[in-house]
Amino acid sequence: MTLHYLKFFYAARTKYDVHAPFLYRLLEEVVEDDRQYYIFDEVALLRQKLQRDRQPVTVTDHGAGSMVQSSPQRLVKDIARYSAVPPSVGELLFRLVLFSRPGKMLELGSSLGISAIYQAAAARKADFITMEGDPTLAKMAATHLEQLDLPQVDVWQGPFADRLPDALQRLSSLDYLYLDGDHRAGASMQYFETCLPYAHADSVFVVADIYWSREMQQAWQQMCAHDAVRLSVDLFDVGLLFFRKEQKERAHYQLVPAKYKPWRMGFFG
């Protein structure tokens, strides 16, 4: 993973290297924005509580499973530590939802509900379905969403392949998709292609863990190359796919905050 990041970082650009207004605004409002919102503190408290929870859970993995924990017998504190979205990514998702203002949202991979909380808090009036394969985790996710006053999110339990068509039919269109529940390349592509007919010019698809494995890297590259995708953005932790029909030429960017590459600001000659 370190080698992947070094290659990514070497190639990555900042807001000082881009000229397209949409991309510059994405960087300013999503990648560069460091404002703190109240929900960040609430999630931090929930995360601390879960990381102390020694309750055992038998997890049913329908996907690639965990790279850290191979046993289905896990403690809640370990799931919170290894599987829950980290604060930096959760906060980025919150800002991305604020930026894109979706009305219809879908998440594949609820886990404990932390990522859904970040996203739902930024779009409280959205029609939002989050899906989780494991029944115990699905119940816990629903409980955590209610505890943080986000009962509008529907938590659907079951294998994605079985439940996804019904979820898409219920939503009728997709403004926003967060794909983070099955890191097998074939499965990821299947879910992407199943969701694609419900996307439109202003939709955004977010793909988690694009460097998780060689399979995921290949899946991400295939998604970026799809004819429907006009703009793809690699932020290392997640990848963003946009379908902007007004963008005639397909473009791909690897981006980091400007503070990571201060020499790109032009201060050094």
DSSP secondary structure string for all residues of 231-245: EEEE-SSEEEEE--T
Render pLDDT for 34-80 as a digit per residue (tens, 0 to 9).
999 999 999 999 999 999 999 998 887 655 444 445 567 889 999 99
CA distance 151 to 22: 33
User: Residue 260 pLDDT > 50, yes or no?
Assistant: yes
* DSSP state for residue 268 in the 8-state scheme: T
CA distance 154 to 150: 10
Domain residue spans in the chain?
A: 2-36+85-265
Q: Whose CA is closest to 185, among 204, 158, 211, 166?
A: 211
Render pLDDT for 112-143 as a digit per residue (tens, 0 to 9).
999 999 999 999 999 999 999 999 999 999 99
CA distance 142 to 151: 8
Query: Distances from the Cα of 171 to the Cαs of 79, 106, 155, 195, 244, in angstroms?
Result: 29, 9, 14, 11, 21
Fold classification of 2-36+85-265 is Rossmann fold (3.40.50)
Contacts of 261 by beta carbon, 8 Å cutoff, 6+ apart? 12, 14
